[in-house]
Structure 1
Amino acid sequence: MHIHDLPYRDPGVPDTRSGGRLLLWLGRCQLGGQLKSLAWGTAHMSALAAVPLVVGIAVQAVVDGSGERLALAGGMVAALAAVVATADTMLHRAAVTNWITAAARVQQLLARKTAEMGAGLTRRVAAGEITAVSTGDVEKIGWFVEALSRFTAAVVTTVAVCAVLVIHQPALGAVVAVGVPLLVLAVLPLLPPATRRADEQREKAGRATELASDTVAGLRVLRGIGGEELFLRRYRRASQEVRRAAVRSARMWALISAVQVLLPGLLLVGVVWYGVSLARAGRISLGELVAVYGAVTFLLFPLRHFEEIAMAYSFSKPSAKRAARVLALRRTGPVTARGHAGNGSPPGGDLYDPVSGLLAPAGQLTVAVCGDPDVAGRLADRLGGHTPAEEPTARVLRPRPGTDGNAPDAREPLDAAGGPDGPAAETAPPPEGPSVLLGGVPLDTLPLAEARTAVLVQDKDPVLLSGTLRELLDVPSSGRVAAADALTAARCDDVLSALSRSTAGGPPDPLDSRITERGRSLSGGQRQRLALARSLVTDPEVLVLDEPTSAVDAHTEARVADGLRALRQGRTTVVFSSSPLLLDRADRVVFLPGGRVSAAGTHRELLRADAGYRAVVTRGATDDTPRPEAALARGSRPERGPRSGRAEMEEPA
């Protein structure tokens, strides 16, 4: 595998049983690259090891006055220099290739897992840990893969040099052959504490990264409540903890490096002292003493590779463990049916969730009202097949004595023993539920590509990537919905005007207008409508929208609802919202307090028949409060029910 061949067509199926097994699997996948690096590394170090022997021959030739042997030694040195230069260049090339290709393989595996898990990934693994795995951990894993072949070459060369010394100079060779393993073993007791300190540093760095990510994501809210200074102090404390942990880790590795310098130096002094005594006794020649001295000096070079592989392994094993933990995640839990064979075309029909009881008939606009934005978000993810096997907890309520159970304060939480306000008031539905069914086919039996094509979920905080508007709308789609029609349905006229004004030169085609990073130059409502247009262009069999109009004004929301209904005519659409403007335009409204269906019908039917639904939609309006029907007739917008937690409204264009 060469760098220009990346990315891999198929990165393979990793062994995620442990971090060590993942590293072993990576090594097997790159066996060819490892052997190439090993061959060049062995050639490089063997040529370096041969230089002291040739120098010894040259010194002895000078002592003996042999010009012929001196010339021969000079030619051998020149040849070895050429071999060293060539082999070192190719070794570096092969080792870096191993590093990059290994890191690329892990990154592709992580990207594939992210696409498979979807929004459920961050509910299983902290965002800071995902960031650490996909950046720093990937680099450390690649480092170990790159260092492994050079370490193996160092071992082979060291064993060969010691064997040659023992054969030709048994006395000095025995000292070297015994001393080198002792040098390696002397460092081993220092590795466990060094590894623990390195793990502590990475753990603190991960927490600091997660805190920084959360702070940046909520910076607008923090500024609104004056809390940015509080979070800044928290990050400073976390940063200082990372600094102190890094200093403690660096001290231990500095000690290991010092030991790796001190002990070989002592070995070299001992070999020279013993060799001089042998030379004075006439047991070895001066040239042989120089050759042995040069060989021992050379052995300091592969010993540095021993230190490097120890450091690389201590850093990469926890990184591989974290990567294996992420890669071991699975999309869904057990299902009720198996055996569907994907044929490349997504299934159609009604969308049904057996856990919540939510049914979205094919070809209709269904609006689901949960009363809790977190429950709505989890249900939206579940409908798209994103939810992992471990379902999040949901609040279980029971009617209070003496009430009909529909008033906003007429229910109370149950604990594990059945009493109110107990320590286990937050209880969970069955942790492993059956899969969502689309036309009777379980979503988790479909190939991932077919499942994503069949059901598209747009969450309440969609991300806009920088680039032109044309690039934003250039997404995999059915081809039945044009970009202009999607923009019209999402009522993006003012967005196009704003983008044209903000783009230098004012492009003649609004689709060539540029969007800044994450659409920061646009208001919250404008970003929502652009994201909605992108989803409409995709034209999936089932479109699931979570609060798609939470940041727009009432007039724009009514127009968006009309455009959405018209463009998605004959296609299945599920919207999670408590806005009467959307509810009044739905073919079917489903009320899911606590995440379970309790009523279904039209918006006006539920307003008349279900007090709980009426309380959620009108936020507890009393008889003296104008009814939503009257408010809709006047063209005004009733107060919303529970939303996504954002207070941002549409800014005037």
Structure 2
Amino acid sequence: MQIQDLPYSDPGVPDARSGPRFLWWLWRNQLGGQLKALAWGLLHFVGVSALPFCVGLAVQAVIDHSGTRLALTGGLMLVCGTAIAVGDTFLHRSAVTNWITAAARVQQLLARRAALLGSALTRRVAAGEVVAVSTGDVEKIGWFVEAVSRFTAAALTALIVCVALLVYQPALGVVVAVGLPFVALAVLPLLPRATRRADEQRAKAGRATELASDTVAGLRVLRGIGGEELFLDRYRSASQEVRHAAVRSARMWSLISAVQVLLPGLLLIAVVWHGIHLARQGRITVGELVTVYSAVMILNYPLRHFEEIAMAYSFSRPSASRAARVLSLERSTTLRTDKDGHQNSAEAAAEAEMPAGDLYDPVTGLLAPAGRFTAVVCGDPDAAGTLAERLGGHPTEPDRSVLLGGEPLDELPLDTARTAVLVQDKDPVLLSGTLRELLDVPASGAVGAADALAAAQCGDVLDALVQGSLDTADPMDARITERGRSLSGGQRQRLALARSLITDPEVLVLDEPTSAVDSHTEARIADGLRRLRSERTTVAFTSSPLLLDRADRVVLVHEGEIVAVGTHRELVDSEPRYRAVVTRETDEEPAGTREEPAGTGERAAGSDDGVLMELEHMEESA
């Protein structure tokens, strides 16, 4: 796999049972690249390690006044230099390729898992952790995967040098062969503590990232309630905890580095001391002493990779565990799989018939008849959000999936289910880019952008985009900032609604689609929804009388059950619990006793007659 071939056509099915298993799976899936890096690494390290032997032969040739051997040694050194240069160049190329391709594979896997889970992802994993996994953790995982081949080449080189020294000069080779394993493995007792400190640092960094993400997402609200300083103090405290944990982790790694410098130095001193005694006794030549000394000194280079692999594993193991935890999440559904075990392939989606018919939730008993506009009133906003997500194919109870046309949504291929049912939650996200790109979504083609924008009452939004753009007069080419932060809450809400209308799904589920707009605009949006979705199934979770009065059918959900069904006006007259939610009327305050708020632009929040009068006024003005 080369970098220019990315992204992978199929990143595979990961082994997400644990962090180490996930790392091993990544390594196996890049076996070709690992073997290339190993081969080039061996060429480079062996070339470096052969230089001491060349130096020893050259010194001995000078002592013996042998020009022929000196010339041959010079040629051998030229070969070693070439091997070092070529090996280092292609080792670096292979290592970087392994790093990038491993990171790209992990990012693709995370993206596919996020697409599979949808909104269920952030309910089961904190948003900050998802951000940390898809950014910093990906790099650390890629670092370990590419470091394995270089470490293997370094370890094999150290073994080759030990064997060569035993053959070349057994008296000194034994000292090196005995001392080298101790030098290489001396840091093992320190690794558990270093790993724990690295885990602690990673956990604190993840919490700080999560806090920062939540703070930025709610910055507008924090400014409104004066809570900026409070959250700033919290983040400052979390940041200091990360700093202290990083310092403690760095201290341990500095100790490991010191051991990696000290012990090879002691081994070198022992070899020199013993070699001098052997040279004095005439048991070895000066050239042999120089060779062994140089070989031991050069071994410091491959031995550094022992420290690197330990550090890479210590940092990547918690990262891999976090990634494996995200990748192991499953939808609580029984999705169809293809013959290779892949979920919801494009072929399966193409072969599956698009379901049509009534939408039915067996948990609450909610029925949304096909082709009609059903409004759902629920006093608990959280319960409404959960029900909306369940209607989108995320069941909260086993074997109680939502039925569309009598067919369980969770047994459909994912692409088919999401094409059939679209859920727009109460806080939709607008990605950065032009308005044209925002509205470029998979759609049936039956609804154009102009019709959707008109139905969602986005005229003032288009004007605002043009006024804020310096390089275009076409609102479709005007840029929207990240998450639409340059727009008001109501403008973002209406653009998101227009995007949903363009999709034109069989079933459209809207959770509080007009909570941030004024009454006049809301009335026009309600009319636009009825017009554009006249032959499609629409479910709107709302407590707005303006939307409820336009619905064909209104359903009251109380404590997880359907307690009343009818039209808005029928339920206002006959159902006290419905009236309490819609008109904000208390049990102690009977209908008709509250004063209607002043101003025709405000929603009526008093008597039933006030609600009906405002509805009639809205109809006339629309």
Matches of 2:565 and 2:330 in 1, distance apart? Answer: 33
Would you say how many aligned residue pairs link Structure 1 and Structure 2?
594
Matches of 1:435 and 1:370 in 2, distance apart? Answer: 20
Matches of 1:294 and 1:382 in 2, distance apart? Answer: 70
Partner amino acid for 1:612?
R
Partner amino acid for 1:513?
A
Q: Which residue of 363, 368, 384 corresponds with 1:360?
A: 368
What's the TM-score once normalised by structure 1's chain length? 0.88
Match runs of 1:537-552 below 5 Å: 537-552=502-517
1:380 aligns with 2:388: yes
Query: How far is the alpha carbon of 1:637 from its aligned partner?
Result: 9.6
Kept in 1, the 8 Å contact 2:432–2:483? The answer is yes
Structure 2: give runs of 5+ residues left out of the alignment.
Answer: 337-342, 595-605
Query: How far is the alpha carbon of 1:629 from its aligned partner?
Result: 5.4
Matches of 2:141 and 2:481 in 1, distance apart? Answer: 34
Query: How far is the alpha carbon of 1:333 from its aligned partner?
Result: 4.5
1:293/1:195 CA distance change after superposition, 3 Å: same
Query: How far is the alpha carbon of 1:303 from its aligned partner?
Result: 1.0
Matches of 2:89 and 2:257 in 1, distance apart? Answer: 26
List structure 1 segments (4+ residues) > 2 angstroms apart after TM superposition: 333-336, 339-342, 625-638
Kept in 1, the 8 Å contact 2:197–2:248? The answer is yes
Match runs of 1:107-122 below 5 Å: 107-122=107-122
Match runs of 1:154-553 below 5 Å: 154-333=154-333, 342=349, 343-386=351-394, 391=396, 431-507=397-473, 509-553=474-518
Query: How far is the alpha carbon of 1:632 from its aligned partner?
Result: 3.8
Matches of 2:608 and 2:106 in 1, distance apart? Answer: 54
Matches of 1:613 and 1:160 in 2, distance apart? Answer: 83
Instruction: Provide, for residues 374-415 of structure 1, a one-character-per-residue CA deviation record: whole Å limited to 9, x for no partner.
Output: 11111111111245xxx4xxxxxxxxxxxxxxxxxxxxxxxx
Match runs of 1:98-113 below 5 Å: 98-113=98-113
Partner of 1:402: none
Kept in 1, the 8 Å contact 2:335–2:412? The answer is no
- Secondary structure at the aligned position of 1:592 is classed as strand
1:312/1:505 CA distance change after superposition, 3 Å: closer
Partner amino acid for 1:37?
A
Partner of 1:407: none
Query: How far is the alpha carbon of 1:627 from its aligned partner?
Result: 3.4
Identical amino acids, percent of aligned pairs: 71
Matches of 1:358 and 1:366 in 2, distance apart? Answer: 10
Query: How far is the alpha carbon of 1:60 from its aligned partner?
Result: 0.9
Partner of 1:145: 145
Match runs of 1:2-17 below 5 Å: 2-17=2-17
Matches of 1:486 and 1:346 in 2, distance apart? Answer: 23
Partner of 1:620: 585
1:605 aligns with 2:570: yes
1:126/1:505 CA distance change after superposition, 3 Å: closer
Partner amino acid for 1:134?
S
Query: How far is the alpha carbon of 1:344 from its aligned partner?
Result: 4.4
Matches of 2:569 and 2:468 in 1, distance apart? Answer: 43
1:68 aligns with 2:68: yes
Partner amino acid for 1:588?
R
- Secondary structure at the aligned position of 1:591 is classed as strand
Kept in 1, the 8 Å contact 2:334–2:411? The answer is no
Partner amino acid for 1:616?
V
Q: CA RMSD in A?
A: 2.0
Which is worse superposed, 213-222 or 477-486?
213-222
Query: How far is the alpha carbon of 1:596 from its aligned partner?
Result: 2.3
Instruction: Provide, for residues 210-252 of structure 1, a one-character-per-residue CA deviation record: whole Å limited to 9, x for no partner.
Output: 1111222222222222221111111111111111111000000
Kept in 2, the 8 Å contact 1:581–1:637? The answer is no
Matches of 2:417 and 2:299 in 1, distance apart? Answer: 58
Partner amino acid for 1:440?
G
- Secondary structure at the aligned position of 1:329 is classed as coil
Kept in 2, the 8 Å contact 1:355–1:433? The answer is no
Q: Which residue of 613, 616, 619 corresponds with 1:633?
A: 613
- Secondary structure at the aligned position of 2:375 is classed as strand
Query: How far is the alpha carbon of 1:280 from its aligned partner?
Result: 1.5
Matches of 1:316 and 1:57 in 2, distance apart? Answer: 43
Matches of 2:151 and 2:608 in 1, distance apart? Answer: 74
- Secondary structure at the aligned position of 1:561 is classed as helix
Matches of 1:18 and 1:92 in 2, distance apart? Answer: 29
1:33 aligns with 2:33: yes
1:632/1:525 CA distance change after superposition, 3 Å: farther
Kept in 2, the 8 Å contact 1:346–1:450? The answer is yes
Matches of 2:161 and 2:87 in 1, distance apart? Answer: 18
Kept in 1, the 8 Å contact 2:374–2:553? The answer is yes
1:560 aligns with 2:525: yes
Query: How far is the alpha carbon of 1:191 from its aligned partner?
Result: 0.4
1:636/1:67 CA distance change after superposition, 3 Å: farther
Kept in 1, the 8 Å contact 2:58–2:69? The answer is yes
Instruction: Provide, for residues 30-49 of structure 1, a one-character-per-residue CA deviation record: whole Å limited to 9, x for no partner.
Output: 11111111111111111111
1:593 aligns with 2:558: yes
Which is worse superposed, 267-276 or 220-229?
220-229
Query: How far is the alpha carbon of 1:366 from its aligned partner?
Result: 1.1
Partner amino acid for 1:631?
V
Matches of 1:274 and 1:66 in 2, distance apart? Answer: 28
Partner amino acid for 1:362?
A
